[in-house]
């Protein structure tokens, strides 16, 4: 296990370096607004633009810029300064990260709590009215864009503009440490919206996987041995059927960050998604680089966790290979 | 010569208006000019309501409470008063930073002394400008000392520091003696003979223009002993640690750091009372105790929150459907601030095919400007423009006011196909359609309603026989291409401009002076470099006296409009939304917003 973790961590570092290099390359290869011109302002003289370009270090070769970025990051854990606000990127990320983690972690809990039971119950009663209702609902949830669903939920249930005011609406997010109860209530609607699509996917995947698993020989054997149906389902059926879901979960952490951008936008949550979006529209490379690296880090860590979890769920998988 | 507003001053925020082109921002206003020119042509009862709001100076407002501001836009992103130029930034800087002069909310045509202790003195034939600094004005924490003339001197000098990179310092203060080589250090042309006197020496007689520019935040005092270490960093960190002089300050920690405290980029801005502000030194009543600004709101949701909520104000321009909703169901919670800018379509005059004036006039004649306005919200959000100096700008009346100069190619807001054909024939295309071959690159802004306006322009070009390549990009990329001659962009449909203050030079110079053509980042998207117009601008720039300047720039407006280098199509009115229990006092000088120092809560 230890060798596995060390190896995966090293590969993770390599991956992060590659991601940062790719981000740099994409930024310079694809057409975007010149950060120096943006910072200097429209109508700035060529001299001013040149001075700003020098100030931002953009007049150096791309390789030199990248090397500077890497050394600053590795040696000082310094992600540089935003081209536009002049704020340290690390502080911008630190400001937005709690909100995004709150949103993402809560959404994961919600979709697992909703998706897994729905998938199990549907698989155990295939083609029943419950199964048809659950899977039909899942299709609706899959088809509903997060952005649209968010607006609908706000117009129905937000306590300021909702038809039936139940919960805090857009712009009500506060930090967990500032007011835990307000934090919780303000995130219920965003969690439900962000989790809806994923819960639908997980319910459908688990249903399919569990139906197949329940037809395996070892399940029949377990029943023949007189084990209770509850134990057969949970211990032999669900445990094996969860494999694909665990793999999916690792991948979805990355997808989740993408979905979080829209959810943050609809609910006015000041997270990493909005920070990243704004940085892209203003060609703010240091912030883009920081947020992309953060997303990559999430995915790397999530995949390591998934691999470990996979081994724990399936004894046939060995990590020390 | 003024060099232009910046990318940040992109005009007219938002949906109803959104961006214009350019740099825009500062700006504009209204009601007085409307009175001069016979008033608005649309709105009916709304006009009466608006006139009442425009005349309101907030007198007798209730004290206390927190005004909640909601916006989709971020402030900044650079909140340094030495840099910020965006209209949305001027709203909070105008109550946290005292400039030498300032506009009262209900007088957009006349600035009053703010940090200055009286009117400026112009001597030496317009080459010297002397301003007395008001005693008794103090910096907020953590500096806590009285403001001196040297603080204003340093504020202007740091504008030339590349770490600050003020976008308009070279334009307005570039004629200061010694400014040509300035990089943030002392400028010989600024002297402070005593602690409360500042004297500006210019190489050319531009004092009458510069004194008007003293309402911009670059003039807000900056304590050098506190700011210099922050300005030494690249980029400067003063904005994130700024010190206030106005009635409010951005909430900060004990060391003065606002970043992460009262200001969280892309998230929130919180203004609290400045404990060192003395009401006796200021004309602002400062009714509310605090302003809590939440950024990143969904535009539709934010607008609804404001309309249905309490003690709120929307700092974005609302979308067309929201304007309609507000106008129909919340009539008392929406006003339209006139004089919020001009929008135009720029045609590249430097190369074929639009180097032919008749071809440009044909496009102007064919363009359905009324439809362009309709997709943004219709008559409520502005008047069809007939020239570039818009209501509220000095020179508007001299330029013929709403009627303009009577050019036939701008006479029909819905377009005139027959006239367009006539101009095509005059340009050398007997069939009335373009047969020159090739295609023209049209670069517009993505996102509704700008994309719809771009498509209307594209359709007009196609109706004349042009083959077009329409590219819709984000606003920054659009400006980047339209401001770069080598990009080969023939038509930029989504441009616009807002004045910095009432002088007409601030509208026309940056957009149409040949000197504004730059290899990149230029503001003259038409690439208009007409020697006659350039000469007229050079002469008008040095003209003294408001009436004479208005007349001179109105004539330049006529020349530009006649050249059809750009097609003016809208004089903007900024829709302003607020809650039913918010007494919004419209600050007219800019694009229009609830002035935080004059508005109050019911």
Say what the ipTM of the complex is: 0.80
What is the spatial distance between Cα B441 and Cα B452, in angstroms, rounded to a whole number?
17
pLDDT digits (tens, 9 = 90+) for A156-205: 999 999 999 999 999 999 999 999 999 999 999 999 999 999 999 999 99
Q: How much of chain A exceeds pLDDT 90, in percent?
A: 37
Distances (CA, A) of B443 to A186, B236, B450, B522, B528: 41, 34, 11, 15, 18
Residues of B in contact with A270 (CB under 8 A): 264, 266-268, 295-296
Identify whether A319 is part of a domain: no
Q: What is the pLDDT of residue A55?
A: 82
Domain boundary among A50, A76, A102: A76
Question: Nearest Cβ partner of B165 from A40, A270, A283?
Answer: A40
Whether B145 and B135 have beta carbons less than 8 Å apart is answered as no
Q: What percent of chain A has pLDDT over 70?
A: 95
Residue B24 sits in a domain whose CATH number is: 3.40.190.10
In the prediction, which pLDDT does B27 show? Answer: 33
- Closest-CA residue in chain B for A268? B297
Which tens digits make up the pLDDT trace of A230-259?
A: 899 888 898 888 888 888 887 787 677 666
Measured distance CA(B383)–CA(B370) in Å, rounded: 9
CB atoms within 10 A of CB A153: 21
Nearest CB to B240: which of A32, A87, A284? Answer: A87
**What pLDDT, on a 0 to 100 scale, did the predictor assign at position B23?**
32
Top residue of B9, B521, B525, B527 to mutate, by most chain A CBs within 10 Å, is B521
Same domain, B524 and B584: no
Per DSSP, B319 falls in state: P
Given a cut of 50, whether residue A275 has pLDDT beyond it is yes
Residue A318 is assigned to a structural domain of this protein? no
Q: Name the minimum distance, in Å, from the CA of A17 to any CA of chain B.
A: 26
Task: Give the span between the Cα atoms of A268 and A161, in whole angstroms.
Answer: 14
Residues A105, A60, single domain; the answer is no
Max mean pLDDT among A73-77, A113-117, A294-298, B476-480 falls in A113-117
Statement to judge: residues A195 and A292 lie in one domain: yes
Of residues B383 and B86, more confidently modeled: B383
Band (A320; pLDDT cuts 50, 70, 90)? low
In a domain, residue B485? The reply is yes
pLDDT in tens, B66-120: 999 999 888 876 899 999 888 889 899 999 999 999 998 877 777 899 999 999 9
Q: Which of B182-186, B244-248, B454-458 has the lowest mean pLDDT?
A: B182-186
A179 and A231 together in one domain = yes
More confident position, B483 or A29: B483
Verify that B516 and B461 share a domain, yes or no.
yes
Same domain? B190 vs B285: yes
CATH of the domain at A110: 1.10.3720.10
Rg (CA), chain A: 24
Higher pLDDT, B34 or B154: B154
Considering the domain boundaries, does residue A84 fall inside one? no
**B33/B100 same-domain check:** yes
In a domain, B391, yes or no: yes
Domain residue limits at B545: 342-572
Q: How high is the pLDDT of residue B95?
A: 96
Question: What range does the domain containing A33 cover?
Answer: 2-76
pLDDT band at residue B189, thresholds of 50, 70 and 90? very high
Same domain? B276 vs B364: no
Closest-CA residue to B500 (of B54, B103, B35): B103
pLDDT digits (tens, 9 = 90+) for B343-360: 999 999 999 999 999 999
Give the C-alpha separation, B181 to B203, whole Å: 14
How much is the average pLDDT of A306-320? Answer: 71
List CB contacts (< 8 A) between A55 and chain B. Answer: 162-163, 165, 234-235
Same domain, B231 and B353: no
Same domain for B396 and B489, yes or no, is yes
Dihedral sign computed on CA atoms, order A99, A101, A103, A106: negative
B558 shares its domain with B592: no
Are A307 and A158 part of one and the same domain? yes
Residue range B556-573: average pLDDT? Answer: 97
State the pLDDT at residue B18.
Answer: 29
Q: pLDDT by residue (tens digit) across B483-506?
A: 899 999 999 999 999 988 889 999
Q: Which of B406, B332, B370, B346 is nearest to B562 (CA)?
A: B406
Same domain, A53 and A107: no
pLDDT value of position B420: 97
Give me the residue from B165, B301, B519 closest to A170, CB to CB.
B301
Structural domain contains residue A208: yes
* A203 and A252 fall within a common domain: yes
Say whether both B233 and B360 belong to one domain. no
Report if residue B154 sits inside a domain: yes
| CATH number of the domain bearing residue B500 | 3.10.105.10
Asked if residue B44 has pLDDT above 50, the reply is: no
Q: Do A147 and A22 share a domain, yes or no? A: no
Same domain, A267 and A205: yes
pLDDT of res. A161: 92
pLDDT at B51: 54
In a domain, B182, yes or no: yes
Contact B3 A44 (CB under 8 A): yes
Query: Does residue B296 form part of some domain?
Result: no
- Using CA coordinates, name the residue in chain B closest to A32: B477
Q: Which residue has the higher pLDDT, A42 or B571?
A: B571
Round the average pLDDT of chain B to a whole number and report it: 88
Contacts of B305 (CB under 8 A, 6+ apart): A160, A161, A169, A170, A171, B70, B297, B312
Domain presence at residue A148: yes
pLDDT of residue B15: 31
Interchain pair A270, B80: CB under 8 A: no
Q: Are residues A59 and A127 in the same domain?
A: no
Contact between residue B314 and residue B359 where contact means Cβ atoms under 8 Å apart:
no
* pLDDT tens profile B574-588: 999 999 999 999 887
> What is the token pair recorded at A110?
């919600």
B48-68, pLDDT tens digit by residue? 555 555 556 677 788 999 999
- Inside any domain, residue A321: no
Q: How far apart are CA B34 and CA A73, in angstroms?
A: 57
Residue B25 has pLDDT above 60, yes or no: no
Predicted confidence band at B319 (pLDDT cuts at 50, 70, 90)?
confident
> Of A76, A110, A140, which closes a domain?
A76
pLDDT at B14 over 70: no
Summarize pLDDT for B135-155 with one digit per residue, the tens.
999 999 999 999 999 999 999
Distances (CA, A) of B545 to A172, A268, B29, B205, B208: 52, 49, 20, 12, 8
CA nearest neighbour of A205 among A128, A127, A112:
A112
Same domain, B65 and B32: yes
Q: Give ∠ CA B207-B208-B212 in degrees, rounded to 5.
A: 105
Q: Which of A86, A99, A172 to substitute to test the interface with B, most B CBs within 10 Å?
A: A86
Residue A316 pLDDT more than 50? yes
- pLDDT of residue A62 exceeding 80, the answer is yes
User: Does residue A82 register a pLDDT over 60?
Assistant: yes
For residues A109 and A165, state if they share a domain: yes
| Separation between Cα atoms, residue B329 and residue B573, nearest integer Å | 20
H/E element holding B38?
Answer: none
The predicted pLDDT at position B47 comes to 53
Flag whether pLDDT at B20 surpasses 90.
no
Share of residues in chain B with pLDDT > 70 (%): 90
**Counted domains in chain A:** 2
CB contact (8 A) between residue A54 and residue B162: yes
Inter-chain CB proximity B523 and A56 less than 8 Å: no
Both A53 and A159 in a single domain?
Answer: no
- Specify the pLDDT at position B370: 97
Q: Do both A35 and A110 map to the same domain?
A: no
Structural domain includes residue A158:
yes
Cβ separation A46–B264 shorter than 8 A: no
What pLDDT sits at residue A306?
80
Whose CA is closest to B287, among B582, B589, B87? B582
Same-domain check for residues B412 and B473:
yes
**Inter-chain touch A268–B483, beta carbons under 8 Å:** no
A85 within some domain: no
Is B259 a member of any domain? yes
Contact check, Cβ <8 Å, B301/A266: yes
B522 and B595 fall within a common domain:
no
**What's the total number of domains in chain B?**
2
């Amino acid at each position: 296990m230890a060798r596995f973790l060390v190896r995966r961590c090293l590969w993770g570092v390599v991956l992060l370096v590659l991601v940062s290099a790719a981000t740099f390359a994409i930024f310079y290869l694809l057409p975007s607004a010149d950060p120096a011109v943006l910072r200097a302002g429209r109508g700035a003289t060529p001299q001013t633009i040149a001075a700003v370009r020098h100030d931002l270090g953009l007049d150096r070769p791309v390789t030199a810029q990248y090397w500077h970025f890497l050394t600053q990051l590795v040696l000082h854990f310094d992600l540089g300064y935003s081209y536009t606000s002049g704020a340290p990127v690390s502080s911008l990320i630190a400001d937005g990260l709690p909100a995004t983690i709150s949103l993402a972690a809560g959404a994961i809990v919600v979709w697992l709590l909703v998706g897994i039971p729905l998938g199990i119950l549907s698989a155990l009663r295939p083609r029943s009215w419950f199964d048809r209702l659950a899977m039909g609902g899942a299709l609706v949830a899959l088809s509903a864009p997060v952005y649209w669903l968010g607006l609908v939920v706000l117009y129905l249930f937000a306590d300021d503009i909702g038809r039936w005011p139940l919960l805090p609406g857009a712009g009500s997010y506060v930090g967990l440490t500032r007011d835990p109860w307000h934090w919780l209530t303000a995130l219920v609607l965003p969690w439900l919206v962000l989790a809806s699509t994923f819960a639908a996917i997980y319910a459908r995947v688990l249903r399919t996987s569990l139906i197949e698993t329940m037809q395996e020989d070892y399940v029949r054997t377990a029943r023949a041995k007189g084990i209770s149906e509850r134990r057969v389902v949970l211990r032999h059926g669900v445990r094996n059927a969860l494999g694909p879901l665990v793999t999916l979960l690792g991948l979805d952490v990355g997808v989740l960050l993408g979905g979080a951008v829209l959810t943050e936008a609809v609910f006015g949550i000041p997270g990493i998604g909005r920070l990243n979006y704004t940085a892209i529209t203003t060609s703010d490379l240091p912030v883009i680089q920081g947020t992309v690296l953060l997303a990559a880090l999430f995915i790397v860590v999530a995949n390591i966790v998934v691999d470990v979890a996979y081994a724990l769920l399936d004894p046939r998988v060995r990590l020390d290979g | 010569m003024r060099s232009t507003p910046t990318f940040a001053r992109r005009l007219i925020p938002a949906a109803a208006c959104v961006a214009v082109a350019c740099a825009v921002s500062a700006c504009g206003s209204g009601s007085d000019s409307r009175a001069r020119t016979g008033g608005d042509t649309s709105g009916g009862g709304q006009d009466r309501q608006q006139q009442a709001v425009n005349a309101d100076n907030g007198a007798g407002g209730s004290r206390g409470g927190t005004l909640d501001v909601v916006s989709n836009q971020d402030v900044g992103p650079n909140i340094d008063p030495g840099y910020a130029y965006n209209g949305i930034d001027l709203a909070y800087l105008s109550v946290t930073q005292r400039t030498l002069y300032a506009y009262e909310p209900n007088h957009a045509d006349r600035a009053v002394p703010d940090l200055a202790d009286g009117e400026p003195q112009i001597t030496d034939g317009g080459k010297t400008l002397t301003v007395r600094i008001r005693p008794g004005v103090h910096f907020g924490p953590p500096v806590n000392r009285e403001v001196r003339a040297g603080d204003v001197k340093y504020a202007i000098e740091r504008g030339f520091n590349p770490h600050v990179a003020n976008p308009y310092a070279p334009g307005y203060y570039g004629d200061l003696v010694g400014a040509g080589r300035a990089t943030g250090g002392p400028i010989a042309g600024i002297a402070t003979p005593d602690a409360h006197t500042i004297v500006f020496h210019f190489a050319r007689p531009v004092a009458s223009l510069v004194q008007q520019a003293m309402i911009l935040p670059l003039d807000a005092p900056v304590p050098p002993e506190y700011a210099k270490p922050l300005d030494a960093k690249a980029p400067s960190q003063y904005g994130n640690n700024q010190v206030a002089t106005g009635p409010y300050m951005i909430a900060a920690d004990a060391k003065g750091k606002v970043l992460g405290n009262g200001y969280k980029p892309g998230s929130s801005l919180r203004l609290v009372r400045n404990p060192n502000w003395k009401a006796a030194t200021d004309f602002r009543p400062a009714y509310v105790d605090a302003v809590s600004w939440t950024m990143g709101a969904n535009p539709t949701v934010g607008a609804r929150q404001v309309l249905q909520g309490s003690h709120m104000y929307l700092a974005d321009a609302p979308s067309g459907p929201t304007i309609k909703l507000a106008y129909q169901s919340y009539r008392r919670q929406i006003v339209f601030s006139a004089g919020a800018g001009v929008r135009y379509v720029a045609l590249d005059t430097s190369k074929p095919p639009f180097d032919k004036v008749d071809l440009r006039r044909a496009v102007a004649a064919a363009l359905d400007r009324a439809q362009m306005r309709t997709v943004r919200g219709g008559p409520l959000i502005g008047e069809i423009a007939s020239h570039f100096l818009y209501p509220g700008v000095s020179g508007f009346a001299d330029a013929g006011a709403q009627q303009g100069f009577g050019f036939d190619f701008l006479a029909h807001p819905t377009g005139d196909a027959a006239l367009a054909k006539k101009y095509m024939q005059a340009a050398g295309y007997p069939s009335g359609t373009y047969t020159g071959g090739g295609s023209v690159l049209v670069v517009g802004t993505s996102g509704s309603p700008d994309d719809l306006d771009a498509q209307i322009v594209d359709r007009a070009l196609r109706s004349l026989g042009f083959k077009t390549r329409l590219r819709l990009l984000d606003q920054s990329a659009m400006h980047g291409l339209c401001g770069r001659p080598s990009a080969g962009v023939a038509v930029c449909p989504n441009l616009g401009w807002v004045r910095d203050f009432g002088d007409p030079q601030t509208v026309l110079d940056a957009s149409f002076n040949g000197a504004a053509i730059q290899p990149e980042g230029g503001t003259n998207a038409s690439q208009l470099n007409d020697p006659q117009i350039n000469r007229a601008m050079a002469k008008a720039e040095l003209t003294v006296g408001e009436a004479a300047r208005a007349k001179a720039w109105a004539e330049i407006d006529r020349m530009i409009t006649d050249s059809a280098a750009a097609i003016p199509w809208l004089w903007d009115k900024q829709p302003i939304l607020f809650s039913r229990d918010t007494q919004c006092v419209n600050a007219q000088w800019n694009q229009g917003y609830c002035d935080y120092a004059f508005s109050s809560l019911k």
